[in-house]
Chains A and B, each alone.
Chain A
């Protein structure tokens, strides 16, 4: 990791407003956060709290209305779409709720997709591919198509895809949202393991207190603001805080 500052992602005074005039919706308001290298953070909050918007901005998928985002020392404001795209390509991995595998590609081709997008030769990633397939326990199913895989297997393919190019940061959007609890736990275990092994920062948006309990820190959002935070939380702690939030709201 060449990031000397020790901070993987930092935001200062983020604000995001959708629409204009009377129909304007303030999705984020004055969000300032810092995620050190290697941190596994969960972002929580009820629907409409702005957690997805925050993840989009942290993942350089969307731009804030105002405020700053710095990723690995690079200030994002003012970067062109192309530069942002290249930043995502080089530094980030994504895991989505709906897996988003390409149905026409086999498991290993899906894993190699970021390599192909970067215009690199897939052969050079042969070893890495084997290692990751082994990690996600799909070595025996590498030539299967997504529709021949279970939900858990599909999400494991997606995790391997997120890891293939050694990203600094992994963004996960409800990675367990479409999985049963046992498979969800497996997938989270994998994320945790890889973060530890490859020293990656993981930012995860989730509804699920069990998922959040895996993380090293849980951040709570409500109405676009950071309202609470818990270090090394367990499931009960998280449930308690959510209840407090709900009674406040």
Chain B
């Protein structure tokens, strides 16, 4: 009977070599490595060939960059003078001419505070206060009063309105959202039920419907003789919907913080509100920031829905401008411009949320 026993030690083998290719060869392999990949690459090239050159021609080479509507109509490409001509209207809407510097300042402040809030080094109590001050300042600038000539709320439109509704919704809705999130995990059944009902109702119904309801129903619940401007009604609707979404984002954060921390804090004699504000909440917020940024993106896009209740934000201003008889027929250009603007802002924020998410996972 033969036996197979290794008597000689096998010498150590070198590590399997990692395949190292030069950059062009690596890309060559990725693009044309297998028959499937060749097929995919050819398909993509065909799609790009069909889409990119006509798009380029329309956007750039055959487009009109300066001129009159008549010149535009004769050209095959896009009509950019339309955008140049109407640019101020897109930005300011119906805002009074003499007061436009206030709208400009408001835009700068809102963009500035958003930029500052994106830097993790500035996260803290100071930022919250600055943000609140900025919101108060922007409202003051746009609406007037207290030394500035007042502007009717119906006159506020264009970009400031878009920014006002989308960027103030997070800080203003946050306390309500926090209350709802706490209510949802409360040990008191009554509070839990109310919170769940509010969260689910406002997350479940379309924003358009909520806006419509706010503009139709709120007057019914106001005492006689009291009216609320449309802007405030829209803001109220956005606020409560944002609060519902924020509550949902915070819920995930609350689940992450281990219970032992609150117990430990309790055992060293901290009060409940101290535990909440000093121990739990900072961690919860840190965990929910990507979700909160996503909410900002969502609201930045969805502010355009206030068109339904007859207010004109950035997108609505573009729609209005394209009805100008002198410049009729260039709606698509307006929409492309709007898409570029929205895309830039939302894409940057989305990338930022993604980076925060990665950073959190690496922690």
A binds B: no
